[in-house]
Structure 1
Amino acid sequence: MREQGKIFAGFAVFVLGIAIWYGIWSKDPTGTTALFMTFGLGAFIAFYLLFTSKRVDTGAGDNPQAEVSDDAGVQGFFSPHSWMPLSLGIGGALMFMGVIFGWWLMYFSVPILLIGLFGWVFEYYRGENQTQ
Structure 2
Amino acid sequence: MKLQGKMFFGLAVFLLATAIVYGLWAKEPAGTTALFLTFGLSGMIGFYLSFTARRVDTGAQDREDADVADDAGELGFFSPHSWQPLMLASGGALAFLGIIFGWWLLYFASPVILVAIFGWVFEYYRGADQRY
Question: Above 0.5 in TM-score?
Answer: yes
Amino acid corresponding to residue 48 of structure 1 in structure 2: Y
Tell me the secondary structure at the aligned position of residue 124 of structure 2.
Answer: helix
Give the match for residue 121 of structure 2: 121
Give the match for residue 86 of structure 1: 86
- C-alpha distance in 1 between matches for 2:117 and 2:56: 30
What is the deviation of 1:74? 2.1
Give the match for residue 19 of structure 2: 19
What is the deviation of 1:102? 1.9
Amino acid corresponding to residue 49 of structure 1 in structure 2: L
Deviation digits for residues 40-93 of structure 1 (CA, Å, limit 9, x no counterpart): 221222222222222322211111211112122322211111111111111122
Tell me the secondary structure at the aligned position of residue 75 of structure 2.
Answer: coil
Amino acid corresponding to residue 46 of structure 2 in structure 1: A
| Structure 1 unaligned blocks of 5 or more | none
* Sequence identity (%): 64
Tell me the secondary structure at the aligned position of residue 55 of structure 2.
Answer: coil
- C-alpha distance in 1 between matches for 2:45 and 2:55: 16
TM-score by length of 2: 0.88
Give the match for residue 28 of structure 2: 28
Give the match for residue 99 of structure 1: 99
| Structure 2 unaligned blocks of 5 or more | none
Amino acid corresponding to residue 29 of structure 2 in structure 1: P
Give the match for residue 70 of structure 2: 70
- C-alpha distance in 2 between matches for 1:43 and 1:102: 38
